[in-house]
Structure 1
Amino acid sequence: MSLVVYLAAAVLALSAAVLFRRPNTAVGKPSGLRNALTVSTCVAIALGAVVFLCSAPMTLAAVNDLTGVPNFGAPLTYGLLSAYSCSLLILLINWRGGPRERVRRLVLRCIAVYGPLIVAIVVLFALADARVERLNDLDTYYANTPGMREMIVLYLLGHTAAIVAMTVVCVRWGREVTGLLRAGLWLIFVGALLDLVGFQLTKYTAVVARWTGHDLDFLSTRVAPPMAALAALTCSAGFVLPRLLPAAVGHWRGLRDYRRLDPLWLRVGFVSTAPKPPSAWWQSPAERLHCREVAIHDALLALAPYFDDRVRERALSAALAEGRSAHQARVAAEAAMLAAAARRAAAHEEPLRTPSTGRLHATEVSGAGGLVELAQALGGSDAAGTMREGTVKAF
């Protein structure tokens, strides 16, 4: 069982670390709310990881040995679980947003409720007689012990209140939003249901069974822990998905466009005077793509004196004769003219006396789209098979 909860803790910790690495992925939020949302998300996920770490039997045994107090890990874990429940509510409050004063007031209310609850858990444990160490079945073993009984019920009720509130908010808010945000809310809803049914209901059932003289301990010791792990991972995916997926898609597109610019960069990069980036391994795909765009535009300016309208016109006529559209023909013609200009520059020929005064389509549009079109036309044209005197190593 320790392996299951340790794995869940590791995944949650990794999610928090990845999210913290990208603190500005929230879209459509003012910077203050975005920072609060990032912090509250990371805190909630990190607390979930710590709860699973502390609830593992191996960790409980180590904590008990370290403190010299049998079952000291119980109030520690239950207190952290209550803090985790509070953090989930605070996260939803920050995610929903609104006037800052209202957000602050609701956050303080959550703290005012769960703060005393955590104190009560510690006090009840201190007053109870729990001398026998129980690493796996503490909830059921001490279900009828004064002090411990109240502590167990209290932490379960606190967690139930948070999960029920989170479920209600997800259902209501899910009807108002669309896209990734709605998908994230439904993941949180599913995770909350798993928590309610798979963890809390089984815990309540096992404890009540002990109260009535029955033994259903397996629900608490075997069913509840993995269900809790699955519920926490599902909820965390719901919180993280709307915030990380847009950035991940942006990185993928940046890397894709960066690679698709290879034919163009390999052809013209030798004349670029743009400063090379200080390093490549640490840069994001978007940053690398921007550096390559700047370098290519610089190279196109350097090759402009070699642009020959006669080459462009012949290539344009040939492309139109092949049945290409006007736009495709234009890009193919400009690719042929560019390839010829690169060959002349690589051979150190003199610039043309009357170079072309027309602008390339790639320089008329913003973003990498125009350059990508030119690169693909250049890579698929006859010029791609010619000598690559100007070939350079891509950065």
Structure 2
Amino acid sequence: MSLVVYLAALVFGMTSVLLFRRPRTAMRDPLTLSTCAAVLLGALVFVCAAPATLRTVNDLTGVPNFGAPLTYGMLSAYSCAVLVLLINWRGGPRPLVRRMVLRSMAAYGLLVAAVVVLFLLADADTERLTDLDTYYAGTPFMREMILLYLLGHSAAMLVMCAVCVKWGREVGGLLRAGLRLILLGALLDVVGFQLTKYTAVVARWAGHDLDFLSTTVAPPMASLAALLCSAGFVLPRLLPPVLAHWRGLDDYRRLDPLWSLVRSVSTAPKPPASWWQLPRARLQWREVSIHDALLTLAPYFDHDLRTRVRDAALGAGRSAHAARLAAEAAMLADAARRAAAREEPPDTAGSYRLHATEVPGPSGLVELAQALRRPPGRGTASGGARPSSLTGTVSEPEEPHVA
């Protein structure tokens, strides 16, 4: 059982590390800070609740069941952290948010203090690592301590359910998906953990033995519920940058044909060792380098060639946009050949702005790169030779295929 609990704690810890990957920024962002605190406290709850940890704590302190108020106090702190996270996530005027956060912390601070006091007043000399709640369900002060931590956790989960239902009607996208995961986790916690604990404790009061609900059913339900809640909290925070980096990697690869054509004329400074760089950083450097190369090649643009290819594409029934891309691809390939061969600029050279430089982001460059990749057609381009790369290899006169 301890191994499973420790694995759950490890998942929580890794999530917290991902969210806290930029400490300076995170410390200034209440939402990130409260998310990390809630996830980290959830991990600590799992660590403290593991039987191996309880035994170690009891042995180190010399106090039987000292791990109980430690675990219950940590669970209460986690409940408070969840409420604080919801308050920061919901947002609003900063004075109101700060006031609600302080009230939540004060309430659960008193609860933790009450848990400790009740444990000190109780007679709990028999060490129980897995069934303390039911074993001491009828013991004075221990009974109150157990009920108090359960009620505090129930209050936090029920508030979280209500907020998720209400807020889920107002938002959409990833935020709504995250709220649904949180709601599912909270409901699983209420039914699978709290209800089973209450049932087992009340059964003890009535003289029945339903301890298996508390010792066998509740722990895995609590683990699954906490993981679902954590996934709901971090999904809207982590998934957008992950998707952005994935799209950046895709755009970086799709720029390969254009980069292969112009890389030898780019004068942009080389980046530092890039094996560790995130895809978006690498894409940004490649964009800058390509734009620099396009400026270098601009004097070599043959606008007669561009016009002939564009007119041929329009005559073949292509759209104006597709015809422009095909014409610019042919003109850029011809300019790269002239630059590689150190030829003089053509007489038809003049100012012209490529479509790729008119749109923000990498989308225009990607379109131009894909136009360069298409197999060339024959019979419409200029009589000059067309390069297959900047290495100087020359093919027969051809016209780029227009898609």
TM-score normalised by length of structure 1: 0.92
Letter in 1 for 2:14: L
Equivalent pairs, count: 385
* Shift, 1:196, TM fit: 0.2
Letter in 2 for 1:386: S
Alignment-derived partner of residue 227 in structure 1: 221
CA deviations on 1:75-110 (whole Å, 9 max, x unpaired) are 111000000001111111111111111111111111
Alignment-derived partner of residue 13 in structure 1: 13
* Shift, 1:389, TM fit: 0.9
* Shift, 1:388, TM fit: 4.3
CA shift in 2, pair 1:174/1:23, >3 Å: farther
Alignment-derived partner of residue 36 in structure 1: 30
Q: Write the distance in 2 (CA, Å) between the matches of 1:88 and 1:219.
A: 25
CA deviations on 1:139-192 (whole Å, 9 max, x unpaired) are 111111222111111110110111111111111222222222222112111111
CA deviations on 1:208-263 (whole Å, 9 max, x unpaired) are 11111111111111110110011111111111112222222211211111111111
Instruction: Map 1:40-79 to 2 at 5 A.
Output: 40-79=34-73
Alignment-derived partner of residue 289 in structure 1: 283
Q: Write the distance in 1 (CA, Å) between the matches of 2:250 and 2:197.
A: 49
CA shift in 2, pair 1:387/1:258, >3 Å: closer
Asked if residue 99 in structure 1 is aligned to residue 101 in structure 2, the reply is no
Instruction: Map 1:269-284 to 2 at 5 A.
Output: 269-284=263-278
Alignment-derived partner of residue 187 in structure 1: 181
SS in 2 for 1:273: coil
Q: Write the distance in 2 (CA, Å) between the matches of 1:351 and 1:139.
A: 86
Residue 342 of structure 1 contacts residue 390 of structure 1 at CA under 8 Å; is this kept in 2?
A: no
* Shift, 1:390, TM fit: 7.3
Alignment-derived partner of residue 155 in structure 1: 149
* Shift, 1:23, TM fit: 7.8
Q: Write the distance in 1 (CA, Å) between the matches of 2:36 and 2:274.
A: 28
CA shift in 2, pair 1:89/1:387, >3 Å: closer
Q: Write the distance in 2 (CA, Å) between the matches of 1:382 and 1:276.
A: 32
- Counterpart selection for 2:391 from 376, 389, 392: 389
* Shift, 1:25, TM fit: 11
Q: Write the distance in 2 (CA, Å) between the matches of 1:302 and 1:24.
A: 40
* Shift, 1:4, TM fit: 2.0
Residue 341 of structure 2 contacts residue 392 of structure 2 at CA under 8 Å; is this kept in 1?
A: no
SS in 2 for 1:90: helix
Asked if residue 362 in structure 1 is aligned to residue 356 in structure 2, the reply is yes
Instruction: Map 1:242-253 to 2 at 5 A.
Output: 242-253=236-247
Residue 270 of structure 1 contacts residue 390 of structure 1 at CA under 8 Å; is this kept in 2?
A: no
* Shift, 1:24, TM fit: 11
SS in 2 for 1:21: coil
TM-score normalised by length of structure 2: 0.91
CA shift in 2, pair 1:219/1:157, >3 Å: same
Q: Write the distance in 1 (CA, Å) between the matches of 2:387 and 2:42.
A: 57
Residue 140 of structure 1 contacts residue 217 of structure 1 at CA under 8 Å; is this kept in 2?
A: yes
Q: Write the distance in 1 (CA, Å) between the matches of 2:344 and 2:61.
A: 83
Alignment-derived partner of residue 264 in structure 1: 258
CA shift in 2, pair 1:88/1:204, >3 Å: same
Letter in 2 for 1:50: L
Asked if residue 349 in structure 1 is aligned to residue 343 in structure 2, the reply is yes
Q: Write the distance in 1 (CA, Å) between the matches of 2:158 and 2:327.
A: 64
Q: Write the distance in 2 (CA, Å) between the matches of 1:175 and 1:390.
A: 62
- Counterpart selection for 2:196 from 202, 206, 230: 202
Deviation larger for 118-127 or 293-302: 118-127
Alignment gaps of 5+ in structure 1: none
Q: Write the distance in 1 (CA, Å) between the matches of 2:365 and 2:58.
A: 64
Q: Write the distance in 1 (CA, Å) between the matches of 2:308 and 2:131.
A: 84
CA shift in 2, pair 1:180/1:390, >3 Å: farther
Q: Write the distance in 1 (CA, Å) between the matches of 2:387 and 2:317.
A: 23
Letter in 1 for 2:74: L
% identical equivalent positions: 71
CA shift in 2, pair 1:71/1:179, >3 Å: same
Residue 266 of structure 1 contacts residue 390 of structure 1 at CA under 8 Å; is this kept in 2?
A: no
* Shift, 1:282, TM fit: 3.3
- Root-mean-square deviation over aligned CA pairs: 2.1
Alignment-derived partner of residue 301 in structure 1: 295
Asked if residue 376 in structure 1 is aligned to residue 370 in structure 2, the reply is yes
Q: Write the distance in 1 (CA, Å) between the matches of 2:265 and 2:392.
A: 8
Residue 197 of structure 2 contacts residue 214 of structure 2 at CA under 8 Å; is this kept in 1?
A: yes
Q: Write the distance in 2 (CA, Å) between the matches of 1:114 and 1:283.
A: 43
Residue 25 of structure 1 contacts residue 243 of structure 1 at CA under 8 Å; is this kept in 2?
A: no
